Amino acid sequence: MIHHSLVPQAPALRLPVAQIRQVFQPADVERKLARLQEAGNQREYETLRTVYERMLERGPERFQVKPSGVPDMASLYDQLPNFTEVLDDVKRHVALAQDSRDGLEVTPMLLLGPPGIGKTHFARHLAELLGTGMNLVSMSSMTAGWLLSGSSSQWKGARPGKVFEALVDGEYANPVIVVDEIDKAACDAQYDPLGALYGLLEHDTAQCFTDEFAEVAIDASQVIWITTANDERGIPEPILNRMNVFAVEAPTLEQARTIARNLYQGIRAGHDWGRLLDPEPLDDVLDQLAQMAPREMRRALMTGFGNARLDHRTTVEVADLPRSAAGKGRMGFVQ
């Protein structure tokens, strides 16, 4: 696919560097649209025709972005201390793309670990780092194999798949697509929810990915794939072989305290009411938060902030945190 450079942002601003890349060929869409018009039966193919017209109206060019410098990742190491190995891998790919016209290529990754340790949270931070969008596909709720690859326009209620939507309806040629809980994908002899991934996770075949609904070649080779799972035993070996597999440990107690402090400061800084609260949390509050899964920390903090304000205090105390969070101790911390 064709791509050319834009004028990069000033390095001092630490903004993403962008190129423009074509994610499909308009001539392919025009041919498909012409055939629909020749075939008649407009009502039957109304949805498909609308998709083709939207593609031509939006055009094929999308932003392909990458960080302006490797040092941008420093804050992520602080915010996600138990993802150091994963971040090291991303950092190597970012370094390769620096000072060159090459786009950022990240080997598809599988994040293995218990629920609630921040796997999806990591993906969101990575999308922010790269300056691109993020699309979440939950495999635990999938009931058919066409959610990723689309369903044939011959079927009632057919529509494009998530990959097509991310690239055609989105703004980026290299979005982060998170396939969440890939080990829970339901699979039977007729529909394989993971079938599309065999080609999408390979750079060469992903360049000409064809959505079954639109039947137009899409360049999905720049997509950054992150999959998550609690147990790798339910994942087919050919899929595992296409990814870098990282076992993400539960944070140590000290790492959990760091996560809690960063979350406290981040929530406070992100709201105007934060100026009415102390800039630093109390040690015993951090100790209590450190006993929770990262996904529970935010909910507990929001409750704590609210209770402190109801009592007209600037300090969040342990008593302000939800009672249900006390003494759970179920994170299984690494000592």
Note the pLDDT of residue 143. Answer: 54
Q: CA–CA separation, 48 vs 36, rounded Å? A: 9
Residue-wise pLDDT for 81-126, tens only, equals: 889 999 999 989 888 888 788 888 899 999 998 887 888 888 888 8
Under 8 Å between Cβ of 224 and 176: yes
pLDDT bracket for residue 174 (50, 70, 90): very high
Note the pLDDT of residue 145. Answer: 58
Under 8 Å between Cβ of 193 and 148: yes
Note the pLDDT of residue 72. Answer: 66
Least confident of 5-14, 42-51, 250-259, 325-334: 5-14
Note the pLDDT of residue 3. Answer: 47
Q: Mean per-residue pLDDT for 296-304? A: 93
Q: How many CB atoms lie within 10 A of CB 54?
A: 12
Report DSSP letters for 88-148, one per residue. HHHHHHHHHHTTSSPPP----EEEE--TTSSHHHHHHHHHHHHT--EEEEEGGG--STHHH
Chain-centroid distance, C-alpha 100: 25
pLDDT bracket for residue 264 (50, 70, 90): very high
Residue-wise pLDDT for 7-47, tens only, equals: 333 333 355 677 899 999 999 999 999 888 777 666 667 88
Note the pLDDT of residue 40. Answer: 65
- pLDDT of residue 189 exceeding 50, the answer is no
- For 316, counting Cβ atoms within 10 Å of its Cβ (0-12 exposed, 13-18 middle, 19+ buried), the class is buried
